[in-house]
Amino acid sequence: MKPSISVRRAVPADGPAYVALVRALADFEELPAPDDAAAARLVADAFANPPRYELWVGELDGEIVAYAVTFPTYSTFRARPTLFLEDLFVHPRGRRAGVATAVLARLRDEAAQRGCGRFEWFVLDWNVDAQALYARIGAVEQPAWRLWRVDLPD
């Protein structure tokens, strides 16, 4: 039987599942997981009025196994908005079932509905499985661009 996959905007009741997935992503990337205070900020910011970012969840047979964080940016060269994907994570129990592909398709459709000129994201250089998925859906690497960052104190 084919698994049931759905992608939707998150609601406040999804907060605990979302935090658990963020912590699983931290484990996957071998980074410190958000502490309880940071987890509370994540949920509060997702559901603030207005929200600081958009939170999406992917479900596999009714279980939340994925999340995506997006927010709008703007391309001066395209003179159109861009939908930026900050995070996409699928729990290992939901991988290879089509969840990530469904999330990306839903977000691409969302970007098109909003009149965006781009839908873009970063990927870690070692995450070759994700890179292969992105290539399969028609995304194109932008090798000339390098991420620069200034970390600010908490």
CATH number of the domain where residue 114 is located = 3.40.630.30
The whole-model pTM stands at 0.94
The answer to whether position 150 is within a domain reads no
The answer to whether position 141 is within a domain reads no
The answer to whether position 153 is within a domain reads no
Name the band, by pLDDT with cuts 50, 70 and 90, for residue 6: very high
- How many domains, the chain? 1
Contacts of 67 (CB under 8 A, 6+ apart): 10, 18, 21, 22, 55, 56, 57, 58, 87, 88, 89
Range of the domain at 36: 5-136
The answer to whether position 86 is within a domain reads yes
The answer to whether position 31 is within a domain reads yes
Identify the pLDDT of residue 33.
Answer: 97
Residues assigned a catalytic role: 134
Tokens found for residue 113: 């509905």
pLDDT over 90 at 27, yes or no: yes
Closest by Cα among 104, 75, 65, 70 to 86? 70
Identify the pLDDT of residue 91.
Answer: 97
Give the pLDDT confidence of 37-51 residue by residue, as tens digits: 999 999 999 999 999
Identify the pLDDT of residue 25.
Answer: 97
Give the pLDDT confidence of 56-115 residue by residue, as tens digits: 999 999 999 999 999 999 999 999 999 999 999 999 999 999 999 999 999 999 999 999
The answer to whether position 145 is within a domain reads no
The answer to whether position 148 is within a domain reads no
The answer to whether position 152 is within a domain reads no
